[in-house]
Amino acid sequence: MKKLLVTLLFLINSTYADSDIWNKLVRSNRVEYYPGIIKSLIDKNLYHTSVPYLKEYLVTSGTVKNANFDRLIDEVIEKVGDRQFVLLPEKYLSRSNSPTIKYILAKKLLRKRKLSEARTILTSNIEKDHPMRPFASHLLGMIYSIERNYVDSINEFKKCVSLSTSALSDSPSAQRQRQLIINRDYCSAGIARAYYAAKDYLNADLAFLDVEKSSLIWPELLFEEAWNSYYKGDYNRTLGKLVTYRSPVLSYVFNPEVDVLNALSFFQLCLYNDASRVIENYYRKYEKETRGLGRVVNRRRNDLNYYFNIAVSYTQGKKSDSAIVNSLLDSVLKDPAFLNLMDSYKRGKGEIDLVRRVGHTPLRKVLTTNLKDSLTLQQKLIGSYVKRTFKIAYSHLTKSFASMSYLKLEILAKKKDRLYSGVQDFGKRGDIAYLQKTQKQYFWNFNGEFWADELGDYVFALRSECN
């Protein structure tokens, strides 16, 4: 009887709340009531459903001076993600004092290379104890790095690592914790990248080691580590870094430039036959597939639904007929940004049942339209992200073919010079004597098996055959 009474009271309260929302929505000055309406929707866990009201309030209200509204924005964006709001024009974003909106505005300005404006927002509008501060610190470190102010960039990235680590213990949300971990790791990578950009390759090497191999971003950093070793002249270590991509655990990584750097490293060691084999394998693997990818990119340039659907289908086990498309989708599905977009979409779909339970029929219809609008936009954002990945991949493949063609000509010239000079076989190719290592690096023989704790630590021991 007591349980029945509690259920009845809940239904009465819910019906009253729905009627209250509807009464506010039908008023001529309804926008004034949006903060209260949004709060009621959040209480029902209808975050995506509330997004259109948040946007309309920003667009129609002039300057927003409402601390409660700012808190609502922060709460909704934490659940929905910031990409739906990045699409708003700057003039509307600038109306809010919400630190989260200020962060979004700074991100938008950074993309337009309005660095000074973005820096001012990040340094003066987001409090030190606000949950967005670690993410703002990451953005600020990027700005300093773009400006080639590497000292401030490194200091800001170090601050970002500290802020992200501290915030982890304060965040009860598993989703926010994942975002903070990724943010921390990107800031650690930012330190290494700043050293690399400053041509301080030794410190860059050490900084790259601060990103754990279990990190979602570690596979992409391995390629950057390989370039760092290349510029140090340690081509054997570059080759060792790159061979890690042959590990089954990294089979999803799509990066045709790995082959280019492989060929370049063999070329620098004057191992021209090895470099030629890499180039031949590259042409065999990608020449036909690249043409096919080019047709997809050109034919589907405006079809975001296509890219959304192939990504969702792939998550359900439906593969494409194209090997390169499958490889790209494998890579996309491990991408932290894509994972955030998909998580948001799944949470939005979870609101469908909640909206169906709304007893007030006219309100239910309005909320259904709201949710549909938000989910449709989220689908487009996902489709746009996949499309962008395909376009970048096609561009990298095309540029890599140009690099390989040039390198092929260089190898032919070098082989001709070697032939005319009468240089013969150099004999033994590999030996521990050719290894460059520090006191903290140790030697083991590779037995053909990839072990998790060894990934990224392999080094070739090839003797240079340069005169």
Q: Mean pLDDT over all residues of the chain?
A: 87
Is the distance from CB of 47 to CB of 173 less than 8 angstroms? Answer: no
Sequence-separated (6 or more) residues with CB below 8 Å from residue 172: none
pLDDT band at 453 (very low <50, low <70, confident <90, very high): very low
* Each residue's pLDDT tens digit, 85-105: 999 999 999 988 889 999 999
Assigned token pair, 200: 């301080």
- What's the pLDDT score for residue 292? 93
Assigned token pair, 75: 């709460």
* DSSP string across 117-144: HHHHHHHHSS-TTSTTHHHHHHHHHHHH
Query: What is the rounded average pLDDT of the residues 334-344?
Result: 93
Q: How far apart are the first and last CA of the chain?
A: 94
Q: How far apart are CA 139 and CA 132, in angstroms?
A: 11
- What's the pLDDT score for residue 4? 42
Query: What is the rounded average pLDDT of the residues 295-322?
Result: 93
Question: Is the pLDDT reported for residue 180 higher than 50?
Answer: yes
Sequence-separated (6 or more) residues with CB below 8 Å from residue 254: 327, 328, 330, 331, 393
Give the dihedral of Cα atoms 343, 346, 352, 355; nearest 10 deg: -10
Question: Is the pLDDT reported for residue 360 higher than 60?
Answer: yes
78-82, 362-366, 400-404, 452-456: range with lowest mean pLDDT: 452-456
Q: What percent of the chain has pLDDT over 70?
A: 88
Query: What is the rounded average pLDDT of the residues 321-348?
Result: 93
Q: Which residue has the higher pLDDT, 276 or 442?
A: 276
Give the dihedral of Cα atoms 313, 319, 324, 330; nearest 10 deg: 60
Question: Is the pLDDT reported for residue 313 higher than 50?
Answer: yes
Q: Angle 434-438-441 (CA atoms, 0-180°, nearest 5)?
A: 90
3-12, 326-335, 359-368: range with lowest mean pLDDT: 3-12
Question: Is the pLDDT reported for residue 72 higher than 80?
Answer: yes
61-65, 184-188, 339-343: range with lowest mean pLDDT: 61-65
